[in-house]
Amino acid sequence: MSESKLPELKNDRFLRALLRQPVDRTPVWMMRQAGRYLPEYRATRAQAGTFMDLCRNTELACEVTLQPLERYPLDAAILFSDILTIPDAMGLGLYFEEGEGPKFKKPVRSSADIAALEVANTARDLSYVTDAVTAIRRELNGRVPLIGFSGSPWTLATYMIEGGSSRDFARAKEMLYNRPEDMHQLLTVLADSVVEYLNAQIRAGAQAVQIFDTWGGALSHAAYREFSLQYMARIVQGLIKEHDGRRVPAILFTKGGGQWLEAMADTGADALGLDWTTDIGAARNRVGDRVALQGNLDPSILLASPARIREEVATILAAYGQGSGHIFNLGHGITPQVDPAHAGAMIEAVVELSAAYHSGI
């Protein structure tokens, strides 16, 4: 089915808020909303085999993307995939160890390793992602918008250099400080890969995109600007800005990035994601109406009682204040041990309490 034949979007609250246009209430979605906290996800994951088998199975990736929308009145779906698909497509051999997270069989350590890398070929090696986007858009049938995403160049580089997850990013930072030319070469090929990848998702049907800079907050003030933000700005400038007659907003999310909001807004992104360490009211005062803000409930609050969750939702809504430009979300991904009913309590609170902050449309 071609995109032109897809039905009109029935709920565009999320896209309108990203562009700071009036809405009737604050839209809400959750990072990792399709994930291990849902029993139906765990059942589908078991059916798929490995995690990457699930990502590569168009039908099952579509199924798990839609699962949270069957439970909750969410205002957006997000593609089910992984941030490490690009380095996997570069031939680094991504695999997952139970309880240890992602690992690469061929880490990138030397200048020769970096020189051998080419921009990831999305059409050839990541077609399973764009196939999933197309299938999800078809199954959504205009219900809510679909978010595409990628990891940031710096975040992808940390996994590629370390060979997996890391506490201190020692190898990546050693390269950054001792061999900055190698790091810049790596980040350039990654940034160009992300542009191609996200644009392919947009052409396949993604209606907004988010760049996850999970580890940008591990950098020093100067290093963040040089080795993370510079490359995210390059990506934003290279993205398709309008598709199928509608603006395609871009969201930047740096975990631990609250001190750099003004510089992040300078990239041309439409919205900034906030983690829970930044007050959203203070953030709004700093960036004004330049960008929308997304966030920023501490995911751990979802381990508390529904009444306590409701209080925290009310606090964040009040901190942002009147008007559009706020997309309610967690400050990072929902954790596996959360009771799905508690996630529901958060979403219900947003739906019920946020209309008071909007004059309607």
| 8 Å CB contact between 36 and 299 | no
For all residues of the chain together, what is the average pLDDT? 96
In a domain, 327, yes or no: no
DSSP string, 38-97: SHHHHHHHHHH-SHHHHHH-HHHHHHHHHHHHHHS--S-EE----TTHHHHHTT--EEEE
Residue pLDDT, tens place only, 161-208:
999 999 999 999 999 999 999 999 999 999 999 999 999 999 999 999
Q: Alpha-carbon distance 293 to 291, whole Å? A: 6
Q: What is the pLDDT of residues 202-252, one digit of tens each?
A: 999 999 999 999 999 999 999 999 999 999 999 999 999 999 999 999 999
pLDDT digits (tens, 9 = 90+) for 250-293: 999 999 999 999 999 999 999 999 999 999 999 999 999 999 99
pLDDT on residue 42: 96
Q: Is 82 annotated as a binding residue?
A: yes
222 annotated ligand-binding residue = no
Q: How many structural domains are present in the chain? A: 1
pLDDT tens for each residue of 133-151: 999 999 999 999 999 999 9
Is 311 a member of any domain? no
CA atoms 98, 127, 141, 22: torsion sign: positive
- pLDDT at residue 360, rounded to an integer: 56
Does residue 345 lie within any of the structural domains? no
Flag whether 234 is in a domain: yes
- Residues designated catalytic: 32, 36, 45, 82, 159
159 is in an annotated binding site: yes
Query: Was 32 annotated as part of a binding site?
Result: yes
Is there a domain that residue 267 lies in? yes
Decide if 266 contacts 321 (C-beta within 8 A).
no
Is 132 labelled a binding residue? no
Three-class SS of residue 238? helix
Q: How far apart are CA 69 and CA 177, in angstroms?
A: 45
What lies within 8 Å, CB to CB, of 215 at 6+ separation is: 154, 155, 158, 169, 255
310 is in an annotated binding site: no
- Tell me whether residue 252 is in a domain: yes
What's the pLDDT score for residue 2?
A: 44
Task: Say if residue 356's pLDDT is above 70.
Answer: yes
Task: Tell me which residue range forms the domain holding 48.
Answer: 3-14+36-299
For tokens 């050839």, the residue is 124
Handedness of CA 345, 320, 202, 89 (dihedral sign): negative
DSSP 8-state code for residue 164: B
Q: How many CB atoms lie within 10 A of CB 209?
A: 27
Q: Taking each helix axis as running N to C, give the angle between helix 340-353 and helix 306-320, from 0 to 180 degrees, rounded to the nearest 10.
A: 40
Determine whether the annotation assigns residue 184 to a binding site: no
Domain assignment present for residue 71? The answer is: yes
Which residue type is seen at 26? Answer: T
CATH of the domain at 290: 3.20.20.210
pLDDT higher than 50, residue 1: no
Classify residue 315: in a domain, yes or no.
no
